[in-house]
Structure 1
Amino acid sequence: MTIFNLGSINADLFYRVPHLPGPGETLSCSSHTRGLGGKGANMSVAAARAASRVVHVGAVGPDGGWAVERLMEYGVDTRHISRLDTATGHAIIAVDDAGENNIILYPGANRAITDPMIAAALAEAGPDDLFLFQNETSGQTEAATKAKALGMSVAYAAAPFDAAAVSGVLPLLDILVLNAVEARQLEAATGRTLQDLPTRHAVVTLGGDGCRWIDNGAGTERTFPAFPVKPVDTTGAGDTFTGYLLAALDRGMPMPQAITLGQRAAAIMVTRVGTADVIPDLKDVQDARLG
């Protein structure tokens, strides 16, 4: 089986700062690095490192060849990443000494993906495959509709959060992944609890408090405790969790085991500085002593 991921590809520009800047504040940073990022790229790398076959559907600009090559190095199928005239997306990421971050995002080529690009990729997909997407590209609703018509399982990571975007795709979803803040925003925007949503599974990441799984098909709910680690950089942890979660489901693992595997991967991720380039591989995750 294959995960087809309609996802963003960014250059992540990291700046280490003593604290996150406030309004009107100018800060000097102690270091600067460039890495591969974007929620889509992060999730593709995580799923590939979790031993799934991953086809990334996306776009870069003339300056993005290095990002495509990096994805290939990490085991992602890049045949459906288009090269466009629009600049590659990028993110400016400030990380403080406590590991917290804030991010300024320029979407670039991620928002220039067209329906024919998506259709060409999904022409290779079938009902045994999984379709994943986030809110950092164009073509989301159209792609999810095509995937659903093919009988694929459809998963959505609801970030960056936009109530209209999430509401527009909810009827198409089998799996919704979001964090605690996004969950509250969605419930406020729709006037519905997660238990009332049409999606079969809702998985809510709670940071240091663990993870919450709502199975609306069975009418059950379960909370998973977090693995205790000391974070140095939380950037990409949620993406790592999602990639590992879906890879585990794609490989036939039950949801509780898939969530636990995703939590282990995310726990390792927050002890590393960076995004896609430092996502742990499956052996790292299985061998790690956590908690």
Structure 2
Amino acid sequence: MTIYNLGSINIDRFYALPHLPEPGETLSALRHSVGLGGKGMNQSVAAARAGAKVNHIGAIGKADDWVRERIESYGVNCQFLRALDSSTGHAIIYVDGEGENTIVIDAGTNAQQDYESVLRALDGAASNDTLLLQNETNLQPDAATFARAKGMRVIYSAAPFSVDAVKALVSDVSMVAMNAIEAGQLCDEMGLTLEQIPVPEVLVTLGSKGAMWRSNETGEVIEVSSPKVTAVDTTAAGDTFAGYFAAGLDLGMSVQKSMEWATQAAALKVTRHGTADAIPSAAEVAAFSSK
């Protein structure tokens, strides 16, 4: 089985700060670094490092060959990655001393996905494959409709949150994945409870408290807790969870086992600085879990 991901790719610029800036405040960075990120890319790297076969569908600027090389080094297939005459998406990430972050994104090539290229990439998928989607690219509804017509599982991370994006996708999604804040926003905007959201499955990550999955078809609920760690950077924790969770399902694990595995991976990730480059491998998660 294979995971396809129509996902964003960002060049991340990190600034470690004594605290997150207030309006009008100027701060001197304690450290600065550049890495690979984007919600889509983070999820692809997490799934690949978990051991799944991953095909990433996306776009970067022609001047950033190092981005493709870095992605491939993590085991992600880049045959569906287009190089354009535009700038690769990028993110400015502020991280404080408690590991909390504030992020500003410029979409760049992420908003320039090509309809024919996306459908051509998905045309080779099988009914037991998975499609991952997030709100950082264009053409998510087209990809979801095409994938569901093929019988694929479609896992949609409703972030950055947009109720209009959710409404455009919800009829072709197998599962909506959100953090607790996004879940609250979605319920408020749609005037629904989680169990009323018209999707077969809902997944809510709860940070240090773990995660909750619900089948809106049967009413079954599964909750898992998270191990206690000292967080230094929470960036990409949710994406690490999503990638590992999708990989677990793709590798034949149950929902509960996939959630437990993903929770361990996300907990280990927050003990490291960075985004895609800091996502742990399956071997590292296994060693962490056995402690």
* TM-score grouping bracket, smaller chain normalisation: over 0.9
Which residue of structure 1 lines up, in the alignment, with residue 162 of structure 2?
Answer: 162
Which residue of structure 1 lines up, in the alignment, with residue 223 of structure 2?
Answer: 223
Amino acid at match of 2:161: F
Task: Report Cα offsets for 1:25-52 as digits up to 9, x if no partner.
Answer: 1000011100000001100000000100
Which residue of structure 2 lines up, in the alignment, with residue 24 of structure 1?
Answer: 24
Which SS does the other structure have where 1:288 is aligned? Answer: helix
Whole-angstrom distance in 2 between the partners of 1:203 and 1:40: 17
Which SS does the other structure have where 1:45 is aligned? Answer: helix
Amino acid at match of 2:68: V
Which residue of structure 2 lines up, in the alignment, with residue 239 of structure 1?
Answer: 239
Q: Is the 8 A contact 2:225 2:263 kept in 1?
A: no
Q: Which moved more, 1:183-192 or 1:214-223?
A: 214-223
Task: Report Cα offsets for 1:151-208 as digits up to 9, x if no partner.
Answer: 1111101110001001111111111110000000000111111101221111101111
The alpha-carbon deviation at position 117 of structure 1 amounts to: 1.3
Q: 1:290 to 1:90 in 2, by over 3 A?
A: farther
Alignment coverage as a number of residue pairs: 291
After TM superposition, the score normalised by the length of structure 2 is 0.98
Q: Is the 8 A contact 2:47 2:54 kept in 1?
A: yes
Are 1:51 and 2:51 counterparts?
yes
The alpha-carbon deviation at position 212 of structure 1 amounts to: 1.3
Which residue of structure 1 lines up, in the alignment, with residue 276 of structure 2?
Answer: 276
Q: Which moved more, 1:281-290 or 1:242-251?
A: 281-290
Amino acid at match of 1:87: S
Which SS does the other structure have where 1:232 is aligned? Answer: coil
Q: Is the 8 A contact 1:229 1:290 kept in 2?
A: no
The alpha-carbon deviation at position 123 of structure 1 amounts to: 1.7
Which residue of structure 2 lines up, in the alignment, with residue 120 of structure 1?
Answer: 120
Whole-angstrom distance in 2 between the partners of 1:53 and 1:267: 23
Which SS does the other structure have where 2:213 is aligned? Answer: strand
Q: Is the 8 A contact 1:12 1:93 kept in 2?
A: yes
Which residue of structure 2 lines up, in the alignment, with residue 209 of structure 1?
Answer: 209
Task: Report Cα offsets for 1:213-271 as digits up to 9, x if no partner.
Answer: 11112212232222110100000000000000000000110000000000000000000
Amino acid at match of 1:89: G
Which residue of structure 1 lines up, in the alignment, with residue 83 of structure 2?
Answer: 83
Amino acid at match of 1:206: L
Q: Is the 8 A contact 1:14 1:92 kept in 2?
A: yes
Amino acid at match of 1:30: L
Which residue of structure 2 lines up, in the alignment, with residue 174 of structure 1?
Answer: 174
Which residue of structure 1 lines up, in the alignment, with residue 64 of structure 2?
Answer: 64
Are 1:196 and 2:196 counterparts?
yes
Whole-angstrom distance in 1 between the partners of 2:147 and 2:8: 18
Q: Is the 8 A contact 1:39 1:136 kept in 2?
A: yes
Which residue of structure 1 lines up, in the alignment, with residue 9 of structure 2?
Answer: 9
Whole-angstrom distance in 2 between the partners of 1:72 and 1:35: 14
Amino acid at match of 2:142: E
Amino acid at match of 2:173: L
Q: 1:229 to 1:140 in 2, by over 3 A?
A: same
Whole-angstrom distance in 2 between the partners of 1:290 and 1:263: 14
Whole-angstrom distance in 2 between the partners of 1:215 and 1:90: 35
Whole-angstrom distance in 2 between the partners of 1:218 and 1:224: 19
Amino acid at match of 2:281: D
List, as ranges, runs of 4+ consecutive aligned residues in structure 1 with deviation greater than 3 Å: none
The alpha-carbon deviation at position 17 of structure 1 amounts to: 0.3
Whole-angstrom distance in 1 between the partners of 2:60 and 2:252: 32
Whole-angstrom distance in 1 between the partners of 2:25 and 2:84: 36
Which SS does the other structure have where 2:77 is aligned? Answer: coil
RMSD of aligned alpha carbons: 1.0
Which SS does the other structure have where 2:71 is aligned? Answer: helix
Whole-angstrom distance in 2 between the partners of 1:64 and 1:203: 34
Which SS does the other structure have where 1:178 is aligned? Answer: strand
After TM superposition, the score normalised by the length of structure 1 is 0.98
Which SS does the other structure have where 2:79 is aligned? Answer: coil
